[in-house]
């Protein structure tokens, strides 16, 4: 069972960009596009590189190591050399503008 974790205030997240949040067992990238947020694991499915630092454009992040691209909405791999999807996490904004993330088991 997952639990919602407060990570930031929505206004603190830059539009059209992403930020990295580190937890005990997982690192997560949170992307903001206008009023929408997406969260994926910071772990490339090709060879385990961090995706953080990769180019983020048009809803896709490019792995800085070998250039695989992933959809930040679905986690789906969009180009070789990665074929498996990265993990995604539920994310929401409360009425008070607090961003909460659920780390699933
Ligand atoms: S480790 Fe990401 S594309 Fe190779």
DSSP state of 8: E
Per-position pLDDT tens, the chain of length 105: 579 999 999 999 999 999 999 999 999 999 999 999 999 999 999 999 999 999 999 999 999 999 999 999 999 999 999 999 999 999 999 999 999 999 975
CB contact at 8 A, 63 and 51: yes
Q: Candidates 3.40.50.300, 3.90.1150.10, 3.90.1200.10, 2.102.10.10; correct CATH number of 4-102?
A: 2.102.10.10
- pTM, rounded to two decimals: 0.95
Cβ 61 under 6 angstroms from ligand 1 = no
Cβ 64 under 6 angstroms from ligand 1 = no
Probe target for ligand 1 pocket from 64, 66, 80, with the most ligand atoms within 8 Å of CB: 66
CB contact at 8 A, 14 and 33: no
CB contact at 8 A, 101 and 89: yes
Closest residue by Cα to residue 12 from 27, 30, 38: 30
């Amino acid at each position: 069972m997952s639990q919602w974790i407060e990570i930031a205030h929505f206004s603190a997240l830059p539009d059209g960009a992403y930020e990295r949040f580190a937890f005990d067992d997982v690192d997560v990238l949170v992307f903001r596009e206008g009023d929408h947020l997406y969260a994926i694991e910071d772990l490339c499915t090709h060879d385990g590189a961090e995706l953080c630092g990769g180019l983020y454009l048009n809803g896709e992040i490019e792995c800085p190591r070998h250039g695989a691209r992933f959809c930040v909405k679905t986690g789906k791999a969009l180009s070789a050399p990665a074929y498996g999807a990265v993990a995604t996490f539920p994310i929401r904004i409360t009425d008070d503008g607090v961003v909460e993330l659920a780390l699933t088991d």
